Amino acid sequence: MCGIFAYLGPKSNSAQIVLEGLKKLEYRGYDSWGIACRRDSGEIVIEKHTGKISDVSSLKKELTEEPAHIAIGHSRWATHGGVTDMNAHPHASEEKEIVIAHNGILENYESLKKDLIEKGHKFVSETDTEVFAHLIQENIGEGFEQAFKIALSKGAGRYALIAISKNEEKILAARRGSPLIVGTGSDEYFIASDIPAFLKYTKKVMYLDDDQMVSLAKDGITFTDLKTDKKIEKRTIIIDWDEKSAEKGEFKHFMLKEIMEQKMTLTRAINQDEEKILEVAQAIKTAYGTYIVGCGTAGKVGMVGTYLFSHIAQKHINFMFGSEFSSFLPFMKDKSLMIAISQSGETADTLEAIEEAKKKGVKIVSIVNVETSTMARISDIVIPIKAGPEKAVASTKATTSQLAILTLLAYACAGKLDEGKRLLVATASQINDMLNPRYENYIREIAEKIQNVESMYIIGKDLNYPIAMESAIKLQEVSYIHAEGFAGGELKHGPIALISKGTPCIAIVANDETKAGIISNATEIKARGGYIIGVSPENNSVFDFWIKVPDAGMASPIVSIIPIQILAYQLAVLRQNNPDMPRNLAKSVTVK
């Protein structure tokens, strides 16, 4: 949710470096982009536009014609103020003395703005962010660094902020809730919302934690704890990321690449540290209530978890979305356990749930993909899913890996970890057979048939009920077709009124005791004219179109979601949508 990137160092083409780096952060927001560089003369020049930064090949000559060793940039996911050039970041104070970029929300911006206007400041955008620039400017008499701290002390909300000044050769940055990572090269510094922005230059990183600020200057780097105003030392961590794994390679889109990668990623997820899985299983068994928390797709995975634990370990586990968690906080005790699920490890709603639970002494286990994320760093135990960078906004490979971890945990809880592993290893090999061009082309046939529909529905039961809802998310976010997922049995209580002649309905039918029920729900839909697409190990006379999946028992959610990911991708391409960057969305939702 907004990408920030800045450079300070010996290279005089800083704006160009920021342009290239920002392109790697585009997944965080692609409504507009902007870059500001500080020429060596002190003058700050800004270029900003609506649209995607990936379409930009060169900058205005004002940003490149004179040497500039400092630059900041931003790719925006709009919150306050429409998608316009004026609202794009960076934002500046009068005379461009202070220029800033910001990720997050300045919650009390209205009262601060009113106050600043009364003091004579002139605002040009509708954003909350611009307030920070004027707030720093207002106190600049105290010096850049002090004015920056004053602005932070007045601002409420969760955000990451970077600022440069016409009068000083430095970059100041601070975080409260949104990620910021410093990369250090030889005599040069980078600061970004995510590592890929500077991976080309360095693998040495330092993490900024909440309520900390950093000052980057030619003569060194200084971290300060904003609560105590004391200098702090930071550990340098060497990242073992491979730049290539974050590239599209031979694939047209990241989404397709990531779907295909499930051949390997599931196996990597299963290859967990057994001791850790057993430790978490033991914690679940002894906890005073276990609460799974996640948002969006990670939330749907968490819901599948409640069924897995019920069936495999006969254990009741609670689930709630991060944004709904506070209503259940009173039940949390110091012996409760929270299992947070997140691909990015930066989702604000999930992080907030963790922070609230931690205050009550709850032990936190996180199942994350980004092992260096905030979530991983504030959890007591981290189970990494090891899916590798997931760049497409629609989560695919992270989803199946998260499902695999919950399956392992449920089996471990039942004292049957080996059985769980065997099941998942067999499933991984079946997925290997599934993910081939023939299967993809077969699914394309149905995508072509339904590409112009207005609505579609997905039904599932038991483990596959949350998968029906996850399928709806996949279809909505990349195809923009109205899609809804239901528990098959719920249809007759209302939603069946939406079915008319030809309405496509996907029925996820596992080969178990739920089969008869869901087939009968599909038959009810067919009787009202619905067109039934069956996702199932076996064909059935009610299906108008059959997508075969392996018979995977408790791993049925893993195999069932894959063809629907492919279908969503195919529909997006046929409808000429960019599946990697769907409208109105961003990969990592770091605002509430």
Catalytic amino acids?
Answer: 2, 587
Return the sign of the alpha-carbon dihedral for residues 175, 207, 246, 570. negative
State yes or no: residue 295 binds ligand M6R (CB under 6 A). Answer: yes
**Residue closer to ligand M6R (CB basis): 87 or 395:** 395
* AA letter at 397: K
Q: What letter represents residue 275's amino acid?
A: E
Q: Which stretch binds ligand M6R (CB under 6 A): 131-139, 389-397, 409-417, 507-515?
A: 389-397
- β-partners of residue 13 are 68
- The answer to whether the CB of 360 falls within 8 A of the CB of 165 is no
Answer yes or no: are the C-beta atoms of 123 and 134 closer than 8 Å.
yes
Q: What one-character-per-residue DSSP string does 11-23 give?
A: -SBHHHHHHHHHH
Sequence-ordered list of residues with C-beta below 8 angstroms from that of 508, at least 6 positions apart, any chain: 458, 459, 460, 464, 467, 468, 471, 518, 535, 536, 560
Tokens 């061009």 locate to 437
Residue 393 binds to ligand M6R (criterion: CB under 6 A):
yes
Stretch that binds ligand M6R, among 176-184, 199-207, 339-347, 419-427 (CB under 6 A): 339-347
By CB under 6 A, residue 265 contacts ligand M6R: no
Q: How far is the CB of 350 from ligand M6R (least distance, A)?
A: 5
CB of 347 to ligand M6R, least distance (A): 3
Instruction: Select the span of 186-194, 290-298, 376-384, 415-423 touching ligand M6R (CB under 6 A).
Output: 290-298
Is the CB of residue 434 less than 8 Å from the CB of residue 296?
A: no
**Residue among 212 and 476 whose Cβ is closer to ligand M6R:** 476
User: How many whole angstroms separate alpha carbon 29 and alpha carbon 307?
Assistant: 34
- CA-nearest of 159, 29, 48 to 96 is 48
Smallest distance, ligand M6R to C-beta of residue 280, A: 19
Verify binding: residue 103, ligand M6R, rule CB under 6 A.
no
Asked if 344 is part of the footprint of ligand M6R (rule: CB under 6 A), the reply reads yes
Return the number of the residue (295 or 446) whose C-beta is nearest ligand M6R: 295
The alpha carbon of residue 10 and the mean position of all alpha carbons in its chain are separated, in whole angstroms, by 33
CB-based contact 499:525 (threshold 8 Å): yes
DSSP state of 174: E
Instruction: Tell whether residue 405 is a contact of ligand M6R (CB under 6 A).
Output: no
**Least CB distance from residue 366 to ligand M6R, whole Å?**
10
The contact pattern for ligand M6R, residues 3-42, with x = CB under 6 A and - = no contact, is ----------------------------------------
Indicate which single residue of 50, 184, 342, 536 sits in contact with ligand M6R (rule: CB under 6 A).
Answer: 342
The pair of structure tokens assigned to 457 is 């529905």
Token match 């059985």: residue? 419
* Binding segment toward ligand M6R, per CB under 6 A, in 40-48, 178-186, 343-351, 532-540: 343-351
Residues touching ligand M6R: how many (CB under 6 A)? 16
Alpha helix positions (H), 379-416: 397-413
Q: Read off φ and ψ for residue 453, nearest 5 degrees.
A: -70, 160
Binding of ligand M6R at residue 297 (CB under 6 A)? yes
**Which residue from 160, 463, 473, 487 is in contact with ligand M6R, where contact means CB under 6 A?**
473
224 binds ligand M6R (CB under 6 A): no
Contact 173, 48 (CB under 8 A): no
427 forms part of the interface with ligand M6R (CB under 6 A): no
Which is nearer to ligand M6R, 103 or 350 (by Cβ)? 350
Shortest Å distance, C-beta 205 to ligand M6R: 20
Lookup: tokens for 422: 């065997």
Give 160's strand partners.
103, 175
Provide the binding-site residues for ligand M6R, judged by CB under 6 A. 295-298, 342-344, 347, 350, 393-395, 473, 477, 588-589
